[in-house]
């Protein structure tokens, strides 16, 4: 969330920013509630002071009836005001959570179609077989049995395609470890505090897109970003240790799978997929530099995999609540003749860290909220789609990208599941 002091000092700016991001928030209502909360807080603090004074007077000799009566009245009045204060703070927090992060000045305004291409790499050739048809013919993927077991948009990966997914994971993981990232496996479930603190919609919201555990304060994660954000919740990190770079591996669970349009076909948009997620904790003055570093690492991964792509500076209306700026990498689909979303990387500034009370101790001893950033190293299902579409040879075989061959037994091509060794 934003700093309440920033909102008080910049109400019009915050309101306009929310509008640009597509969020309906009433900043005047929020500030009126905050004023009311502060008045009640002042009364509570005054009564607590009187309570302490009354307690001091009761020490020693037997207290008078008048003093006892006064203490009882203070206690009763304080209890009522503390309840009122708690209710106002809860309501204020609810309103604050609906206020999105401020965007950077270089973020384009508008909706998805107003996002700006900032870089293009590779060619835009067309002509390849659709990944789902290609995989089914070779018995590499089974959506029918996935549906039988778990419902639509669940699937089995088989044989060499499953090995290829593992090869992509191992390649990207080794690549990032050499770049200084600490590898983590993460919890696959998180509490509502961590979920909403990261910027994802709560269970009660119409906007939530996740899977929740009935009867418990737990949700399945949509990305490793969520538990990685919560890793340092309520901690104070030393400035000398920053930035911290983590890479988390996890399955991701989402209800988002659509049924219309070719871009939702097959593995492109599913309910469960595996992903490697980069994450960084840093000081405010370093976060923009770290953002560009994460983007550069994403680009290097896809260049090494031989995938044509472009980089987009995402428009304000498509950013979501936590991000101040986000880049998307979209790969060139030889099947569809257009670019399709592949990865993203976001600078969330102090938005998530304030929610989860993650701070840094400066060299001068000052404590302040730090910045968090995240970026997709590889989203495995979509990575498979991109490789299948872009690495079919003239004989119909799938050529394994060179950087993946050490993880595939040195082979150049994938074999069908029914093909004899």
The per-type count for the chain, helices as H runs and strands as E runs, is 12, 15
Does an H or E element contain 284, and which? Answer: none
Which of the residues are catalytic?
254, 269, 341, 344, 382
CATH 1.10.287.40 correct for 4-97: yes
pLDDT digits (tens, 9 = 90+) for 86-122: 999 999 999 999 999 999 999 999 999 999 999 999 9
Strand 156-157 to 141-142 pairing: antiparallel
Which residues on adjacent β-strands are paired with residue 339? 332
CA of 91: how far to CAs of 17, 34, 78, 86, 103, in Å?
A: 22, 10, 20, 9, 25
Point out the residues of the chain with pLDDT beneath 50. Answer: 257-262, 420-421
Report pLDDT for 282: 98
**Is residue 75 within 8 Å of residue 58, measured between CB atoms?**
no
φ, ψ of residue 347 to 5 degrees: the values are: -100, 110
Counting every residue written for the chain, the total comes to: 421
Q: Within a 10 A sphere around the Cβ of 122, how many other Cβ atoms? A: 15
- In 3D space, the residue among 375, 197, 194, 387 whose CA is nearest the CA of residue 296 turns out to be 375
Percent helix, strand, coil in the chain, to 5, is: 45, 20, 35
Q: Is 151 left (phi over 0), alpha (psi -120 to 50) or beta?
A: left
Q: Judge contact between 242 and 286, C-beta under 8 A.
A: yes
Output the pLDDT for position 362.
Answer: 96
pLDDT of 68 reads 85
In sequence order, the 6+-apart residues with CB closer than 8 A to the CB of 67 are 54, 57, 58
Considering the domain 112-408 in this protein, what is its CATH number? 3.30.930.10
Do 135 and 161 contact (CB within 8 A), yes or no? Answer: yes
Quote the CA–CA distance of 252 and 272 in Å, as a whole number. 5
Domain ranges for the chain? 4-97, 112-408
For residue 249, what are the contacts with CB-CB under 8 A and spacing of at least 6? 169, 173, 183, 184, 185, 186, 224, 274, 275, 276, 277
Q: Token match 């037994």: residue?
A: 409
Nearest to 3 by CA among 265, 356, 355: 355
Q: d(Cα 294, Cα 228) in Å, to the nearest integer?
A: 16
End-to-end CA distance of the chain: 56
Token duo for residue 50 = 């009187």
Rounded to whole angstroms, what are the CA distances from 412 to 160, 344, 370, 402?
A: 12, 29, 46, 8
Locate 312 and state its tokens.
């987009």
Here the tokens at position 270 are: 């599913």
Do the Cβ atoms of 114 and 21 come closer than 8 Å? no
């Amino acid at each position: 969330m934003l700093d309440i002091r920033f909102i008080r000092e910049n109400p019009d700016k915050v309101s306009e920013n929310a509008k640009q991001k597509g969020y309906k928030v009433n900043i005047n209502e929020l500030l009126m509630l905050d004023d009311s909360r502060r008045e009640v807080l002042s009364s509570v603090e005054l009564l607590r002071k009187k309570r302490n004074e009354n307690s001091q007077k009761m020490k020693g000799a037997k207290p008078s009836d008048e003093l006892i009566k006064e203490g009882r009245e203070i206690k009763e009045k304080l209890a009522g005001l503390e309840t009122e204060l708690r209710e106002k703070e809860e309501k204020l927090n609810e309103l604050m959570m609906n206020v999105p992060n401020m965007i950077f000045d270089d973020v384009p305004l508008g909706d998805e179609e107003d996002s700006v291409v900032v870089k293009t790499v590779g060619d835009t050739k067309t002509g390849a077989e659709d990944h789902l048809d290609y995989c089914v013919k070779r018995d590499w993927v089974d959506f029918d049995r996935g549906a039988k077991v778990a419902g639509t948009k669940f699937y089995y990966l088989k044989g060499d395609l499953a090995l290829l997914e593992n090869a992509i994971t191992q390649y990207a993981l080794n690549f990032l470890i050499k770049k200084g990232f600490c590898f983590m496996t993460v919890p696959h479930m998180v509490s509502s505090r961590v979920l909403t603190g990261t910027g994802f919609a709560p269970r009660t919201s119409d906007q939530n897109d996740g899977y929740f555990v009935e009867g418990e304060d737990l949700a399945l994660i949509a990305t490793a970003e969520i538990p990685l954000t919560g890793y340092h919740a309520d901690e104070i990190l030393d400035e000398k240790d920053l930035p911290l770079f983590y890479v988390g591996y996890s399955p991701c669970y989402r209800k988002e799978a659509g049924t219309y349009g070719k871009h939702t076909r097959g593995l492109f948009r599913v309910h469960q997929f595996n992903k490697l997620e980069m994450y960084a904790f840093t000081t405010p003055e370093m976060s923009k530099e770290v953002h560009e570093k994460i983007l550069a690492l994403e680009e290097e991964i896809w260049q090494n995999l031989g995938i044509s792509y472009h980089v987009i500076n995402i428009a304000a209306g498509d950013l979501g609540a936590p991000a101040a700026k986000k880049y998307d990498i979209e790969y060139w689909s030889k099947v569809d003749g257009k670019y399709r979303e592949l990865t993203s990387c976001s600078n969330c500034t102090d938005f998530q860290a304030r929610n989860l009370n993650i701070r840094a101790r400066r060299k001068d001893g000052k404590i302040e909220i730090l910045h968090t950033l995240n970026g997709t190293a590889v989203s495995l299902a979509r990575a498979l789609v991109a490789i299948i579409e872009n690495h079919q040879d003239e004989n119909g075989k799938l050529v394994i990208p060179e950087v993946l061959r050490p993880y595939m037994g040195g082979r150049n091509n994938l074999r069908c599941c029914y093909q004899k060794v």
